[in-house]
Amino acid sequence: MSKAIENLQAALKQAMAGRPQIGGFPYLAENSAAGGRYTQSVVPARMPESLSDEDGPVVILGTPLSSGTVDVPPFNREALIAALRIDQAGKSTFPEFLEASWRAGVVRYDVGVMARKVAYYGCNGEEYIEDYPAVDVM
């Protein structure tokens, strides 16, 4: 196992242990992206697809939301915001959030940890950017 994988696994364990049920995303982001940024592909992965730290990039392959050839749903900003608010209120799991994001036409999102912003993207260049609060991770 590489040092990068060890770092990622330790960060995710720490993030899950310290994150509150409501408003937990900032804790995951702060712990998961030592390199300051990570990208999540909504399809096919269910976990952050690529994370980088000083020891190199890591890819986590998750269970696909679907398989085969599928139509990409149209980007729906309101549906995405609704999915975000449900997740922020602690009323969805991460897989449920990804599923709702996919139904809202999100194909990937970028987390900028230093700027504390998440940019959600549709397949035709649509974009929704949202700030998230700073948190103290110990």
DSSP per-residue string spanning 67-109: -SS-PPPPP-HHHHHHHHHHHHTT-S-HHHHHHHHHHTT--EE
How far apart CA 37 and CA 93 sit, in angstroms, is: 22
- Under 8 Å CB-to-CB from 111, ≥6 apart: which residues? 29, 32, 33, 37, 38, 39, 40, 117, 118
Two tokens, residue 102: 């996919």
Q: What is the mean pLDDT of residues 43-50?
A: 52
Block residue for tokens 């999100």: 106
Percent of the chain scored above 90 by pLDDT? 27
Report whether pLDDT(35) > 70.
no
Q: Name the pTM for this structure.
A: 0.76
Block residue for tokens 């992965």: 45
pLDDT, the chain, mean: 79
Q: What is the mean pLDDT of residues 8-28?
A: 71
pLDDT in tens, 68-123: 888 999 999 999 999 999 998 989 888 889 899 999 999 988 888 778 889 999 99
> Sorting pLDDT into bands at 50, 70 and 90, what band is 46?
very low
pLDDT score, position 32: 62
CA 76-61-57 angle, to 5 degrees, is 100
Other beta carbons less than 10 A from residue 34's beta carbon? 17
pLDDT score, position 65: 79
Q: What is the mean pLDDT of residues 45-57?
A: 59
